[in-house]
Amino acid sequence: MLTKVEVERVIEDVLSDRLKAAGFLKSDVQFDTDFDGEKIIRVTAHVENPVINADDLFTSVDEIQSRLLKSDDARYVYLRQAYPGSEDGRAMRFGHRR
């Protein structure tokens, strides 16, 4: 399993490339467990503008998950975006399970 710093590096690398058009600013990463007790990674991508095409978020999760799996890190990744005005709870949330 990768360290916190290694996971954050992978996530920043992927999101800075994949969400560039939305004005990617930074990501917040939290390590958590799901309702089944499985270890997961929750990611909030802070962007200047909402990512409208959900495929951009799904492919970001796919790439993050693939890179983690190459290092034998099988934690599930859940991604949400935060943008100006999204504090009201309407930010889109996406999760992915392999």
**Quick check: 3 and 10 in contact, CB under 8 A?**
no
Residue 94: per-residue pLDDT: 53
Class of the domain covering 4-88+90-94: alpha beta
pLDDT digits (tens, 9 = 90+) for 48-70: 999 999 999 999 999 999 999 99
Q: pTM for the full model? A: 0.85
Q: Is 47 exposed, middle or buried (0-12, 13-18, 19+ CB in 10 A)?
A: buried
Of the pLDDT bands very low, low, confident and very high (cuts 50, 70, 90), residue 95 is: low
User: How many CB atoms sit inside 10 A of residue 71's CB?
Assistant: 12
Mean per-residue pLDDT of the chain:
90
